[in-house]
Amino acid sequence: MIYTSAQDWREATHKRVLFYGMSGLGKTHVSNTLRDAGNWFHYSIDYRIGTRYMGELIADNAKAHAMQVPFLRDLLLSDSIYIGSNITFHNLTPVSTYLGKPGNPAKGGLPIEEYRIRQEQFRQAEIHALMDTAYFIRRADALYGYPHFICDTGGSICEWVDGDDPEDTILKELSAHCLLIYIEGSEAHTAELIRRFDRAPKPMAYQPAFLDAAWAEYLKENNCEEDEVDPDSFIRWTYARALAHRQPRYEAMVKWGVSVTANEVATVKTAQEFEALIATALERRAATPI
């Protein structure tokens, strides 16, 4: 780890951290808190994915739909209108909309093979965005003069790394530049995330082997063909399974950094409170080595 003790962390003139954990447990909350402090640079992996690595795919998908409307088709072909996505830190909807949901096209679903292609595009994009972290650390300091740096990752980071492999390429790169911080939820948090997702199911990324197994099981359990699958029903059915699949993968990553609870993160209102929390987490790790 780049900070070996609480004292080392407190005395660091350049603090660099990376948050990971299930979506909805406070990564973006604490990132916004630190960014608002004025001397922390906020690097959002999802924003980087949407603007740098999938921006053209997202725009082309929107154009493909527009081309099906004669009025818009004529305007596009004559370069009379421009179609693009309005991605911001607070609106990453274009990314999830492009990722989509598999199932019946009449219900807004994608054919499973097209869905797998988009899943792979997202996997590659997220890995590239994660590996850009060191570049943005240098850029934040050299170009903008920010002494401190936050990398705010998506919930799917655990799908592309192996925390038990000491030679994992992505984790070695990230831990060489940032303190990796796991935001850990309780069973109550997990239950609330499932209830929240059930009310408003959103596209998410899956490890290929997990997706294949879940898709096959869903078809068998519901006795349906691929083009009969209700997209929202499938991702609702899959969500709790995906969380259970990810949990041990997150936990395997803890040895690369420190952990804090979602309840602890929820109490953070200032950069000073955050710095104190991480000092405590480093003290806990020193007292109970992983």
In CATH, what number is assigned to the domain containing residue 17? 3.40.50.300
- Indicate the pLDDT class of residue 289, thresholds 50, 70 and 90: low
Instruction: Give CA–CA dist 60/227, Å, rounded.
Output: 24
Give the range among 69-78, 146-155, 255-264 with minimum mean pLDDT: 69-78
pLDDT of residue 47: 94
The answer as to whether 286 is a domain residue is no
Mean pLDDT of 26-50: 92
Establish if 28 belongs to a structural domain: yes
Q: Are strands 16-20 and 179-184 parallel, antiparallel or unpaired?
A: parallel
Instruction: Classify residue 272: in a domain, yes or no.
Output: yes
Query: How many domains are there within the chain?
Result: 1
Q: What is the pTM of this model?
A: 0.93
- Express as a percent the part of the chain with pLDDT over 90: 86
Asked, for residue 287, whether it belongs to a domain, the answer is no
Provide the angle, in degrees to the nearest 10, between the axes of the packed helices 112-131 and 133-144. Answer: 50
Range of the domain at 43: 6-280
Tokens 């998506």, residue located = 154
Q: Are 278 and 17 in contact (CB under 8 A)?
A: yes
